[in-house]
Structure 1
Amino acid sequence: MTTLKKIPTQSLRVGMYVDKFCGSWLQHPFWSKKVLVEDTKTLNTILQSSVAEVIIDVSKGLDVEAAAQSDVQASVEAPSEVEIAMAEVEAASASASAPSDRVIRASMADEVRRAQQIFRKGKQAVKDIFKDVRLGKAVETEGLQHLVNEMNLSLSRNPQALISVARIKSKDEYTYLHSVAVAALMVGMARLCDMSEEQVLEAGMAGLLHDMGKAVMPEAVLNKPGKLTDAEFAIMRSHPVEGHKLLLDWDGVPEAVLDVCLHHHEKMDGTGYPERLGGEGISQLARMGAICDVYDAITSNRPYKAGWDPAESLSRMASWQGHFDPVLFKLFVRMLGIYPVGSLVRLQSERLGVVIEQSGNSLLTPKVSVFYSARLKQALPITVIDLADEQETYRIISRESPEDWPFKHLDQLWLPN
C-alpha cells in the first residue's frame, strides 16, 4: 500500500513529512525536496511560498486524519497562528511583488546603503553554507531566493548602486563576498538580456553557488597569500567539478545553476576548463558567469594581490582575445559603463577625479568627484561635476591607474558616510 499522498499546501500541519514539493524548484524555499515539518517556523516558511500542493509520506510523519484530529483541540472560531502569519505575509507581499515598473527610483547614495545591507546578509549566508559543507552537515540555504529577489529590486530602484558596491571587499572577505558579487552582476546582466523573472532568479542563484567547490578546497591553498605552485593550482582548478558534485547531491537544483557551477571557467576559444568547451558549446548563462566571475576577481583585493581599477579591468578584459563572448561582454560594459563607478580618471583640465555615478545618456559622461591637480601635484577642494551637463566643457581624456599615484581609499569619494 502506498504511503504517499498529495494534499493542498494549506492542509499541511506540523508533524507531517513532505516527500516532494509540486511545481517549480524556484517556488519552494528549500533545496531538498524532502523535509519534516517539525515546527511552526518550518510550516510557516512553506505556507508563505507559492507552492500549491505537496506530497506527504504518512509512513514518516502524520497522516491527514491524524493532523485533523489534533486540530480539534484548537478553537475553530479563532484564527490560528499560521493563518495570522499568512494574512500578514500576503498583505506585506502585495506591494513587494509589484511589477518592476512600479518600483520607485532611488538616489545612488540611498541605494548604496541598501546594497551594503544586502551584501552583509549575503556574506553571512554564503559563509554559513561553506561552514556546513566543510563540517559535512545538512546545508541550510533558506533565504537565498529572498536575497536574489532583494538584488533584483535594488537594481530596479537604481541599476548602478548594487553592482558598484559588489567590488568593495577586503582580502579577508573575498571568498564569501565574491559569490554575492557575482550573483549581483549576474542578475544585472540577466535583466539587460530581457530574461524572464524565473531566469533572472536562476542567474542570481547560479552566481551565489558557482564557487561552491571552494568549500572543499584546502584552506591553506584557498587563502594562500603568495603565488600558487603548479600542484596547488591543479587543486584549485578542480573546484568547478567538486562544486558540481556537491550541488548534484542537493535535490532540485536547476540544471542552469549546475551548468554555471561546472562551466564558469570555460573560454570561447576552447582553452578553458574543466571540459575545454568553446563557442556555442558553452551555455549563455555560463558565458555570462565567466565574465562576471573574472571581473569581480580582478577588481577585488585578494590574499595575493590588490584589485585593479574598474576601468583598467574592463580594458584588459577586452584585450583577452578568445576568452569572453564578445556580444555579452559589450552588454557587460554597457551595464557598468566604460568608466565604472570607482574608476580614477583624468580630465582635459589635468584634474583627477573618481567616477561616482553613471549618466543615463552616455557611457562617456559620468558624474566625477574631482579632488587633485595632476599639473600642480596637489590636492584640490572636492568638487562634483556632471559631464553630461551641457555647460560642462571638460571631458575625460584617460583612465589612470591608482598604482601610479599615492592615493588611498579612493572609494570613500563615492561611498556614503
Structure 2
Amino acid sequence: MKESSFKTISISELAPGMYVSRIVEQAGGVKIKSEGKVTSQNIVDMLKAKGVKKLVVDIAKNFAAESPASATAPPPQEPSDPAEKPPRVPFFKEIQRAEKLHAQGKAIQKSLLATVQKGLPFDKTIPREFSSKLVESIERNPDALLCLTKIREKDDYLLEHSLNVAILLANFGQFMGMTEAQVNDLAYAGFLHDMGKILIPDDILHKPGRLTDDEMG
C-alpha cells in the first residue's frame, strides 16, 4: 500500500466508512492499538469516550458505511486493544489459586535460600516464572494475594517476607501504570531481595545496635 493512502486526522474528523490504521494520540488509561473499520457512529463515540485525539486512517480502505436504519446493530468489527487486561474474577475464585501460589512461593524461597547458603548458583528461570504468576494473579484479582500478605506465621517469616514484598511491589507497579515487563521485574526483585542476608551471620544480622567497622566490612 502506498504511503499516500494514509492520513492523520483528529477524532472530530472521524466518520463511519473510514478504516482506522492506528491511534497516534490518546488520553486515559485504556490504550487502543489495533486497526479496524469504523462501521457506525457508535464506534466514533466509543473512541472519543476512551480519549482518542488523533489517529491514522487508510483512505484506500474506505467503505460504504451502514445506513442509519441499521445503526442499532452491533458493530461487526471495532478497533480494540489486544493487550487490554482481562476482567477481574471474583475474590472467592481467585483466593483458592492465590493460596496455592503463596504456598508455592514459600517453597521456592526455601529452596533458593538453601541453595545460596551452600554457595551454589540457582536457576533464575524458576523465580522469574513464579514472579510472572504472581503478576497474573494480581491482574485477575489483587485482593486475593494481598489478603494473604496479612497472615503472619512466625516460623516462616523470612520466607513470607520476600514473597509479600514481591506481591506488594507488583500491585504497586500496576497501580502506577507500569508496563507488564516492569511489573514483572519489580516482583522478581522483591522476591529475591533478601537472598544476600542468608550469608550474613545471625549475630550481625540481628544486632540491635550499630555495627562496628569490622562488622560492616
Matched, 1:106 2:89: yes
Q: TM-score, normalization: structure 2?
A: 0.55
Match of 2:199 in 1: 216
How far did 1:141 drift? 2.8
1:205-246 per-residue CA deviation (whole Å, 9 max, x = no partner) reads 111112222111224665x6xxx442xx638xx8xx99xxxx
| Per-residue deviation, residues 226-283 of structure 1 (Å, max 9, x unmatched) | xx442xx638xx8xx99xxxxxxxxxxxxxxxxxxxxxxxxxxxxxxxxxxxxxxxxx
Q: Which residue of 1 aligns with 2:154?
A: 171
Q: CA deviation at 1:192?
A: 0.8
| 1:175 CA displacement | 0.5
Which of 155, 175, 182 matches 2:165? 182
In structure 1, the partner of 2:131 is: 148
- Please tell me whether residue 125 in structure 1 is matched to residue 108 in structure 2: yes
State the match for 2:122 in structure 1: 139
Aligned letter for 1:205? Y
How many Å apart are 1:113 and its aligned residue? 1.6
CA–CA distance in 2 between the matches of 1:220 and 1:158?
Answer: 41
Match of 2:179 in 1: 196
Structure having greater relative contact order (Cα 8 Å, sep ≥ 6) = 2
1:160 aligns to what SS in structure 2? helix
Q: Is the partner of 1:234 in helix, strand or coil?
A: coil
Query: What's the CA shift for 1:189?
Result: 0.5
Residue 211 (structure 2) aligned to one of 234, 242, 248: 234
State the TM-score, normalizing by the size of structure 1.
0.30
Q: Which of these two proteins has the greater Rg computed from alpha carbons?
A: 2
Q: How many angstroms apart in 1 are the aligned matches of 2:168 and 2:157? A: 15
2:20 — aligned with what? none
- Structure 1 segments, 4+ long, off by >6 Å, are none
Q: 1:100 to 1:148 in 2, by over 3 A?
A: farther
Q: Contact 2:169 / 2:190 at 8 angstroms: preserved in 1?
A: yes
Contact 2:105 2:130 in 1 (8 A): yes
Q: Does 1:207 align with 2:166?
A: no
Unaligned runs of 5+ residues in structure 2 are 1-81
CA RMSD of aligned residues (A): 2.5
Aligned 1:53-72 pairs, distance under 5 A: none
Please give the alpha-carbon distance, in whole angstroms, between the structure 2 residues aligned to 1:104 and 1:175: 33
8 A Cα contact 1:100 1:156, kept in partner: no
Q: Aligned ranges for residues 388-403 of structure 1 at < 5 Å? A: none
Matched-pair contact (CA < 8 Å) for 1:125–1:141: no
Query: Is contact 1:129-1:141 (8 Å) kept?
Result: no
The 8 Å contact of residues 204 and 211 in structure 2, kept in 1 or not, is answered as no
Change (3 A) 1:119 1:109: same
Q: Which runs of 5+ in 1 are unaligned?
A: 1-97, 243-417
State the alpha-carbon separation in 2 of the partners of residues 208 and 216 from structure 1. 17
Query: How many aligned residue pairs are there?
Result: 134
Deviation at 1:99, TM superposition (A): 3.7
| 1:159 maps onto 2:142 in alignment | yes
> Is the 1:127–1:176 Cα contact (8 Å) retained in structure 2?
yes
* Amino acid across the alignment from 1:206: A
Map of 2:25 onto structure 1: none
Identity of aligned residues (%): 28
Deviation at 1:157, TM superposition (A): 1.2
Task: Give the letter for the 2:113 counterpart.
Answer: F
| Residues 270-302 of structure 1 deviation map (CA, whole Å, 9 limit, x = unaligned) | xxxxxxxxxxxxxxxxxxxxxxxxxxxxxxxxx
